[in-house]
Amino acid sequence: MNNSSYETVIGLEVHAQLLTETKIFCSCKPEYGADPNTRICPVCMGLPGALPVLNRESVTMAIMMGLALRCDIAAVSEFSRKNYFYPDCPKNYQISMYDKPLCKNGFVEIETDNGPRNIRIERIHLEDDAGKMSHETGKDSLVDFNRCGVPLIEIVSRPDIRTGLEAVKYLVRVQQILRYLGICDGNLEEGSMRCDVNISLRPAGSTELGTKTEIKNLNSFKAIEKGVEFEVERQRRVLEEGGSIEQVTNLWDADSGRLVMMRSKEEANDYRYFPEPDLLPLEVDGEWIDGVRDMIPELPLEKERRFREEYMLSNYDSGVLCAEKGIADYFEIVAESTGLAKKSANWVMREIMRALKNLGCAIETFPVEPEKLAGLIALVEDGIISGSAGQDVFAEMIKSGADPKEVVKKLGLEQISDSSELENMVDSIIAAHPEEGERYREGKKKLLGFFVGQVMRESRGKANPELARNILIKKLGS
């Protein structure tokens, strides 16, 4: 059997922590990295007698995501209890949504080799997060309950994804949208965005689903791609050898690059869902939904489309620029004030992104404001300074945050565009290189570059190269 005889079927469950002021059912303020068990109260600790009260902001954020992914928002949804015992879950049940989720039937558009494709969204629902366990061999296990009650949305896709790469593309898109909406920081490593993958194979052309396995603990895009590839290969081998797939849940071990079995179907929990009696059904009216719709900014896909049309940028450029809303906004200010979209795009994609990476900072705190970068680009384009001097000025601007014109003055980098000054310089250079001049006149026209280089060196990069070139051609003769 060859590889094409099986089709891979992947569905993803994404958990995203919402950036609400307070937790979903109490007034504790979550804070990543706070001392253990300092962000807790009777409610999120599930102390005897404590009751949950729903945080409206978490619902608003969940609706935002629902609208962004083109879901239907339920007029009435319902919280249910998902019962299971685990020490990080203080009530030993999670308050989640079961058969009446808040959002249903949406989609996320991704680019594939065969063009754009919609990955359907089955549902988005709200739930509370659990605490965190830490284990040390030979010692007691510890639980930090700070994370308990942090609001999560779970975004469940339909099994529409076919490869590990597509899974990553889908997740990148979901992460972008969460960040555009400002409802989740989408950090896989810190766990503010978490992903479980369901995988099955089926004979190509079949419409029935095969037995699926689940992978948890995938905390990077690389892990997701690798984990999926690993599991697809494993299932393919089992099926090709005539075996059958067992329904299991695996954990991805990033260190060894392997899957570790967590539980089999027999060990699967019966969660005994039933409606949460401590909360009323959640009613969302049209007014609420309209209010949320007004809060939704232009989303990455629309922005990319607009950048292509408005700024005549390529698919690639608009994709890179729109990956982060802050970068896209930065670019737009630069492009608007220079009127040079492609040049601005190049500066942002090369210099700015490299500098951000080196500084390890976000665009929001980058020392060079977009208006100042626009000023720098204008200086280069107007020939006030050379392109290479522009790099030096940029480096100085990052250090001091100063205005580009001041930096140019301070460093004495104004380009020499005065032709009499340049003519004198050219005369002495031609006089110093008679041999090269001779060969040039004999037809070795490539030597023009040598002379331009000499002028640039002599002027310490300040000569306007275009002007120097014209003077050289005139003076060298033919």
- Window of 9-17, 87-95, 242-250, 291-299 that interacts with other proteins by CB under 8 A: 87-95
Among 47, 260, 312, 361, binds other proteins (CB under 8 A): 47
Residue 445 in the binding site for other proteins (CB under 8 A): no
Residue 53 in the binding site for other proteins (CB under 8 A): yes
Among 113, 255, 266, 270, binds other proteins (CB under 8 A): 270
Q: What whole-number distance in Å separates Cα of residue 146 and Cα of residue 67?
A: 30
Question: Residue 366 corresponds to which amino acid?
Answer: F
Residue 52 in the binding site for other proteins (CB under 8 A): yes
- Closest-CA residue to 464 (of 430, 413, 403): 413
Among 44, 54, 177, 228, binds other proteins (CB under 8 A): 54
Helix ranges (H only) for 90-220 are: 164-181
Half-sphere exposure of 439 (CA within 13 A, CB side): 9
- Window of 169-177, 241-249, 276-284, 413-421 that interacts with other proteins by CB under 8 A: 276-284
Q: 49 vs 477, which CB is nearer to other proteins?
A: 49
Q: 96 vs 464, which CB is nearer to other proteins?
A: 96
Q: What whole-number distance in Å separates Cα of residue 344 and Cα of residue 337?
A: 10
**Minimum separation from the CB atom of position 90 to other proteins (A):** 6
Residue 36's Cβ-count burial label (10 Å; 0-12, 13-18, 19+) is middle
How does DSSP classify residue 171? H
Among 277, 286, 434, 477, binds other proteins (CB under 8 A): 277
Among 11, 46, 375, 437, binds other proteins (CB under 8 A): 46
Q: 83 vs 112, which CB is nearer to other proteins?
A: 83
Residue 22 in the binding site for other proteins (CB under 8 A): no
Question: Residue 251 corresponds to which amino acid?
Answer: L
- Rounded to 5 degrees, what are φ and ψ at 422? -70, -40
Residue 134 in the binding site for other proteins (CB under 8 A): no
Chain centre distance of CA 235: 30
Residue 93 in the binding site for other proteins (CB under 8 A): yes
Contact 262, 196 (CB under 8 A): no
Contacts 24+ apart (CB under 8 A), 266-269: 269/84
How many residues in the shown chain lie near other proteins by CB under 8 A? 29
**Minimum separation from the CB atom of position 94 to other proteins (A):** 11
Residue 76 in the binding site for other proteins (CB under 8 A): no
- Closest-CA residue to 236 (of 466, 10, 6): 6
Q: What whole-number distance in Å separates Cα of residue 59 and Cα of residue 219?
A: 26
Coil, helix or strand at residue 240: helix
Among 274, 283, 361, 438, binds other proteins (CB under 8 A): 274
- Window of 8-16, 47-55, 184-192, 333-341 that interacts with other proteins by CB under 8 A: 47-55
Which residues on neighbouring strands pair with residue 124, listed in sequence order? 103, 155
**Minimum separation from the CB atom of position 232 to other proteins (A):** 30
Q: 87 vs 203, which CB is nearer to other proteins?
A: 87
Element (H, E) at 253: strand 248-253
Residue 462 in the binding site for other proteins (CB under 8 A): no
- Window of 52-60, 289-297, 340-348, 352-360 that interacts with other proteins by CB under 8 A: 52-60
Helix ranges (H only) for 360-403 are: 370-381, 387-400
Residue 473 in the binding site for other proteins (CB under 8 A): no
Residue 57 in the binding site for other proteins (CB under 8 A): no
Residue 90 in the binding site for other proteins (CB under 8 A): yes
Coil, helix or strand at residue 454: helix
**Minimum separation from the CB atom of position 41 to other proteins (A):** 9
Residue 91 in the binding site for other proteins (CB under 8 A): yes
- Which sign does the torsion angle of CA 110, 116, 122, 125 carry? positive
Among 48, 116, 138, 286, binds other proteins (CB under 8 A): 48
Q: 190 vs 267, which CB is nearer to other proteins?
A: 267
Q: Where are the beta strands (DSSP E) in 23-174?
A: 72-73, 76-77, 79-83, 93-97, 103-112, 115-128, 132-134, 142-144, 151-157
Residue 141 in the binding site for other proteins (CB under 8 A): yes
- Window of 46-54, 237-245, 252-260, 323-331 that interacts with other proteins by CB under 8 A: 46-54
**Minimum separation from the CB atom of position 347 to other proteins (A):** 53
Which residues on neighbouring strands pair with residue 95, listed in sequence order? 81
Element (H, E) at 294: helix 286-295
* Encoded tokens for 463: 């000569």
**Minimum separation from the CB atom of position 74 to other proteins (A):** 18
Chain centre distance of CA 474: 53
Element (H, E) at 274: strand 274-275
**Minimum separation from the CB atom of position 274 to other proteins (A):** 6
User: Tokens 């919402």 map to which residue?
Assistant: 18
Convert residues 345-374 into a mask of x (bound to other proteins by CB under 8 A) and - (unbound). ------------------------------
Residue 92 in the binding site for other proteins (CB under 8 A): yes
| Binding positions for other proteins, rule: CB under 8 A | 42, 45-54, 81, 83, 85, 87, 90-93, 141, 143, 270, 272-274, 277-280
